Chain A
Amino acid sequence: MEPAERKEFDSVIAAIIKRSVASEVFNWLEEKAILIREENGARHLNLAFAAITRKTGRQLIKIAEEEREITKKVHSGFSVDDWTTDRLSRLWLLMQTDASDKNNYCAKIENLFNGAEMHELAALYSSLFFFKYPEEWQQRCAEGIRSNIGIVLEAIMYNNPYPSKYLSDLAWNQLVLKAFFAEKNVNRIIGLDRRANKELALILVDYANERRAAHRLVNPQLWRLVTKFIDESNFKNIEEAFKSSDVKEKKAAALACFQSNYLPAKNLVESEPVLKSEIVENKLNWNLL
Chain B
Amino acid sequence: MCCSNLDEERGSQKGNLIPVDLESIKGMKFFDPHVHMTSRTTDDYQAMFDAGVVALIEPAFWLGQPRTGIDSFRDYYSSLIGWERFRSSQFGIKHYCTIGLNSREANNEKLAEQVMEVLPLFIMKEGVVGIGEIGFDDQTPAEEKYYRLQLELAKETELPVQIHTPHRDKKRGTRRSMDIALEHGISPDTVIIDHNNEETVKEVLDRGFWAAFTIYPFTKMGNERMVEIVKQYGTERIMINSAADWGISDPLAVPKTAALMKARGISAENIEQVTYRNAITAFGKSGQINEEDFVAAQNIDQSEKFEGNTVLRGGQQPRIDKSSIIIS
A residues near B (Cβ < 8 Å) are 46-47, 50-51, 53-54, 114-121, 148-151, 185
Q: A150-B314, A185-B309 are in contact. Are A118 and B85 (CB under 8 A)?
A: yes
Which residue from A54, A117, A185 sits with its C-beta under 8 Å from B81?
A: A117
CB-defined contacts of A51 to chain B, threshold 8 Å: 124
Task: Let me know if B251 is at the binding interface, CB within 8 A.
Answer: no
Confirm or deny: B173 has a beta carbon within 8 angstroms of a beta carbon on chain A: no
Total interface residues on B, CB under 8 Å, equals 22
Contact A115 B314 (CB under 8 A): no
Q: How far is the CB of A98 from chain B (nearest CB, A)?
A: 20
Q: Which residues of B lie under 8 Å from residue A53 when comparing CB positions?
A: 126
Find out whether the CB atom of A151 lies under 8 angstroms from the CB atom of B313.
yes
The reply to whether B82 and A50 contact each other, CB–CB distance below 8 Å, is no
B145 within 8 A of A: no
Q: Does B69 contact A (CB under 8 A)?
A: no
The minimal Cβ–Cβ distance linking B200 to chain A, given in whole angstroms, is 34
B287 within 8 A of A: yes
Does residue B122 face the partner (Cβ distance < 8 Å to A)? Answer: yes
CB-CB nearest in chain B for A111: B121
Which residues of chain A are near B125, meaning CB under 8 Å? Answer: 50, 117, 120
The 8 closest A-B CB pairs, nearest first, are A150-B315, A117-B81, A149-B86, A117-B125, A53-B126, A50-B124, A118-B82, A118-B85
Known: A115-B78, A148-B86, A149-B82. 13 other contacts (CB 8 A): A54-B287, A114-B74, A115-B74, A115-B121, A117-B126, A118-B81, A118-B82, A119-B126, A120-B125, A120-B126, A149-B83, A151-B86, A185-B309
Q: In the complex where A114-B74, A151-B313 touch, is A47 in contact with B82 (Cβ < 8 A)?
A: no
| 10 contacts across the A-B interface (CB closer than 8 A) | A50-B124, A51-B124, A54-B288, A115-B121, A118-B81, A118-B86, A119-B126, A148-B86, A149-B82, A150-B314
Q: Which residues of B contact A118 (CB under 8 A)?
A: 81-82, 85-86
Interface string of B291-308 (1 = CB under 8 A from A): 000000000000000001
Q: Which residues of A contact B132 (CB under 8 A)?
A: none
**Interface residue? B127 (CB, 8 A):** yes
Q: Which of chain B's residues has its CB closest to A187's CB?
A: B308
In the assembled complex, the Cα of A71 lies from the Cα of B74 at a distance in Å of 37
Using known A-B contacts A54-B287, A118-B86, A149-B86, determine if residue A47 contacts B124 with beta carbons closer than 8 Å: yes
Q: Cα distance A128–B327 when bound, in Å?
A: 40
Q: Inside 8 A of A151's CB, which chain B residues have their CB?
A: 86, 313
Q: Is the CB of B308 within 8 A of A185?
A: yes
Most A-side CB within 10 Å, residue of B81, B124, B287, B314? B81
Q: What is the CB-to-nearest-CB distance from B323 to chain A, in angstroms, rounded to a whole number?
A: 23
A-contacting residues, B46-99, CB 8 Å: 74, 77-78, 81-83, 85-86, 90
The residues of A that contact B314 with a CB separation of less than 8 Å are: 150
Residues of A within 8 A of B288 (CB): 54
CA distance A115 to B123 in the complex (A): 11
Residues of chain B lying within 8 A (CB to CB) of residue A50: 121, 124-126
- Nearest residue (CB) in A for B287 is A54
What is the 8 Å Cβ interface bit string for chain B, positions 113-145, against chain A (1 contact, 0 not)?
A: 000000001101111000000000000000000
A115 to B78, CA, bound (A): 6
In contact, A116 and B82 (Cβ under 8 angstroms): yes
Q: Which of B86, B122, B126, B308 has the most CB of A within 10 A?
A: B126
| Chain B min CB distance to A1 (Å) | 29
Task: Please tell me if the beta carbons of B124 and A117 are within 8 angstroms of each other in the complex.
Answer: no
Q: A49 to nearest B CB, angstroms?
A: 10
Within the complex, the shortest CB–CB distance from B162 to chain A, in Å, comes to 19
Say how far A117's CB is from chain B's closest CB, in angstroms. 4
Instruction: Give the CA-CA distance A148 to B126 in the complex, in Å.
Output: 20
Report the minimal beta-carbon distance from B312 to chain A, rounded to whole angstroms: 10
Chain B: CB-nearest residue to A152? B86
- Other-chain residue from B78, B82, B121, B126 in contact with A46 (beta carbon distance below 8 A): B121
Question: A115's contact among B83, B122, B126, by CB below 8 Å, is which?
Answer: B122
Q: Do A121 and B82 touch (CB < 8 A)?
A: yes
- Given contacts A50-B121, A50-B124, whether A114 and B78 have CB atoms under 8 Å apart is yes
CA distance A51 to B86 in the complex (A): 20
Distance in angstroms from A194 CB to nearest chain B CB is: 23
